[in-house]
Chains A and B, each alone.
Chain A
């Protein structure tokens, strides 16, 4: 998961700036010329200071992730729709979804001259998985044979066959494994990296479409300069001269820069401009669903939420929330009401799942179900949703609580904690005694990524301790299919179980909100909400 943590401080300012900006609009739209553009022009884009060294297996947030995606080429990359396309890989083959043979293109090089061979991948993955290296993304290797969370243990499932071939043996079939390989954790590393990983993290050497513009191109807290890597041979050859990613402490500053003409591409519009950015930017505004799913989780260990009573109550709560209205009023249309547990940008997504009507606002049915649950055991107490007040959640939590109050006639409210760390700690050690906000940003564009890590029995992020053997069985079945569509069908069946049990109450999909300046064209946003920088032309 790539975490977005920018702009936390901006909330206090949001109200005032919204007042001021609402009267204004950016004038002077010059039509952008759609000629080929200037091949040496540098694109400026917004970003945030990477929170970790720029090591592929140790980066789990957007700030560092978007840089790594440009300076490294993995086995595959994702196109705008999230479909995997071979980058370094020549072929990825399997007959049983458990054992893979991966062939890579010969003759590729890192920007320091080191060859990109099978060992570059295997060594990088071994490094990332080793417990004592404490890499934030180590869990990506947990399906490979030999992986252990308890002790340093080599990935025995990885074997180098020759310079351009290696094999991967998983502990169980995972049909979406090839899809995962475009995630940064699976990028290769040059030999030179292992000698001094700390120095490498400061000046990473990759094999991607771009490379750092020399030593010290990463100016901490200010920007990072990327220039075209002339040796890159894959499908993402840049149509511009480079990308400068400017680090912003607040999204408001980035938005001002876009308006002031100092920034070409913005992929995060601040809350304060939700109301105005589409009229400010006209057809240069972007507002489309992203691979981010928002929900809140009601653990079944809470009183009144276990067993059949709990299921009835969760369904009642889900139907008592007017998602349509909240996304329109609170979020100004920058969220899309959820109709499942994944995201519309993911291949296989459907809004026609059986039981999806539980996600529609239906106050009468909600009251009926709540009354049925009261017959099992009468309701008492307050329904609360925990959230971190440093993340701009208060608006929608209060709206949801009001929705519940008005529809079900119960006492409902938000339960704010000052910091994100505090809420996550309480959720992780299970000391939390209320419902709580949950969200998921996909690591790779696959349905399984939204389901397996969160709702499978004992899964890493199963914060609500949900467990349903039927659901687990369907996930396993889908994972062992080698045909993508058949697998997706199984995952959809599994989702229909979730729609009945509601281990989390789906709320909405976050949209990517962004925009671009008059000087650039060909701006498309990828499945992961980051613009496809290599496609952008300028001038």
Chain B
């Protein structure tokens, strides 16, 4: 087990260098000069541009810029943004907000999704099952920004039940609505995934055996059916956590969440290499960790795929 984790961590090293290099290259190759864009429609004097390029090392060749950046990382220095803020500070400010939002969304979607999915699966073809399928179909087919705008308008503006946007400091109560919006699409997918998995498991031999052994339904459903049905769901949740961390840009924009998606988007638009690469690097590392945790979770759910050795 320890050896396995160690190997996985070792694998993260080339992934780290590969992604930072690729991302840095892509930001570098983005057309247009970010310094010129700093001046808006005004054309700056060439000497001023040169001075600013030097300040951000943009006058160096690509490979030199990359190693200046990587060298900084190992000294704990992730560079500074155009606004003069150390990137480490930006990371420390935005990641907790987005992680909080992602965990909240994950909780909503997994609890609601698994409960509804299980219930549907056990009552296949009944009224509850059919209506759950219809609702999930609607949720899946709606683009997330439509759900977000409708929720914001109805619950925020019209009913006044929630704040229309997330306030400063992103308190949990403000994050509930964005989290529900984020959770809605995945909720529908989890319902469908759990449902089909439960139906499949219910028909397997060991479930029949359990019933014929005289075990109560109360024991069979959670222990024998649900536990064995959760593997695809857990895989989905893990990838979804990654998506929630990086892909919440639209939702974060609509609800003005001061999180990763928003900040990263602005940094890409401005061509701030160090900020973009640092964000993506941290995302990649988080993603690797989450995947490792999931692989270990498999073993808990199904002893048959527990790691040998």
Query: Which residues of chain A have a CB within 8 Å of any CB of chain B?
Result: 1, 3, 5, 8-10, 13, 16-17, 20-21, 24, 26, 49-53, 60-61, 131-132, 134, 136, 138-139, 149-150, 198, 201-202, 219-223, 246-250, 252-254, 256-257, 259-262, 390, 417-428, 438-441, 453, 460-463
Contacts and interface: CB of A to CB of B under 8 A. Distances in A.
A446 B255 CA distance: 39
B37 A139 contact: no
Contacts of B270: 51
B47 A150 contact: yes
A235 to B, nearest CB: 30
A463 to B, nearest CB: 6
B165 A438 contact: no
A138 to B, nearest CB: 6
B143 A60 contact: no
A380 to B, nearest CB: 28
B258 interface: yes
A17 B149 contact: yes
B253 A249 contact: yes
Contact of A422 (B31, B164, B258): B31
A5 B39 CA distance: 11
B157 A256 contact: yes
Contacts of A51: 38, 82-83, 270
Interface stretch (B8-16, B123-131, B191-199, B259-267): B259-267
- Main DSSP-derived SS at the B contact region: helix
A61 B253 contact: no
Given A201-B84, A221-B262, 15 more contacts: A13-B250, A24-B158, A26-B157, A134-B52, A136-B44, A136-B48, A221-B263, A222-B258, A250-B253, A250-B254, A253-B164, A256-B164, A260-B164, A423-B32, A441-B40
B67 interface: no
B150 interface: yes
Contacts of A149: 45-48
A154 B221 CA distance: 82
B160 A261 contact: yes
B169 A420 contact: no
Interface string B246-290: 000110111110100011011001110000000000000000000
B269 A390 contact: yes
A427 B32 CA distance: 10
Given A222-B258, A461-B42, A461-B43, A424 B33 contact: yes
B153 A21 contact: yes
B146 A139 contact: no
B88 interface: no
Contacts of B242: none
Interface string B49-85: 0011001000000000000000000000000001111
Contacts of A9: 249, 253, 265, 269
B263 to A, nearest CB: 6
Q: Interface residues of A: mostly helix, strand, loop or mixed? A: mixed
Nearest to B258: A221
B41 A3 contact: yes
Contacts of B168: 219, 222-223, 246
Contacts of B52: 134
B252 A249 contact: yes
Interface of B: 30-34, 36-48, 51-52, 55, 82-85, 89-90, 93-94, 143, 145-146, 149-150, 152-153, 156-158, 160, 163-165, 167-169, 249-250, 252-256, 258, 262-263, 265-266, 269-271
Contact of A16 (B89, B93, B149, B255): B149
By Cβ-Cβ distance, the 4 closest A-B pairs, closest first, are A421-B32, A3-B40, A260-B164, A422-B32
A262 B256 CA distance: 13
Given A219-B168, A222-B168, A460 B42 contact: yes
A222 B266 CA distance: 14
Contacts of A53: 83-84
Contacts of B252: 249
A438 to B, nearest CB: 6
B46 to A, nearest CB: 8
Contact of B37 (A16, A131, A424): A424
Nearest to A58: B84
B40 to A, nearest CB: 3
A218 to B, nearest CB: 10
B163 A49 contact: no
A463 B83 contact: no
Nearest to B55: A134
B254 A134 contact: no
A262 B146 CA distance: 22
A438 B41 CA distance: 7
B27 to A, nearest CB: 11
A221 B152 CA distance: 21
Contacts of A257: 164-165, 256
Contact of A460 (B43, B152, B164, B250): B43
Contact of A419 (B32, B84, B164, B255): B32
B256 A131 contact: no
B84 A202 contact: yes
A260 B163 contact: yes
28 contacts: A5-B40, A5-B269, A8-B269, A13-B145, A13-B149, A13-B253, A16-B145, A20-B153, A21-B149, A51-B83, A52-B84, A61-B40, A132-B51, A136-B38, A139-B48, A221-B262, A246-B168, A249-B256, A256-B164, A256-B254, A261-B160, A262-B163, A390-B269, A421-B30, A421-B271, A422-B31, A425-B33, A463-B43
Contacts of A425: 31-33, 36-37
Contact of B93 (A136, A221, A462): A221
Specify which of B153, B157, B160 lies most central, judged by the most chain A CB atoms within 10 Å of its CB.
B157
A5 B37 CA distance: 11
B156 A256 contact: yes
B89 to A, nearest CB: 8
A310 to B, nearest CB: 22
A299 to B, nearest CB: 13
Contact of A424 (B32, B157, B262): B32
B150 A20 contact: yes
Nearest to A64: B83
Given A1-B42, A259-B164, A461-B41, A253 B31 contact: no
B31 A419 contact: yes
Nearest to A427: B43
Nearest to A440: B41
Given A221-B93, A438-B41, A256 B31 contact: no
A428 B43 contact: yes
User: Which has the most chain A C-beta neighbours within 10 Å: B34, B44, B84, B254?
Assistant: B84
Contact of A10 (B48, B94, B158, B253): B253
B178 to A, nearest CB: 11
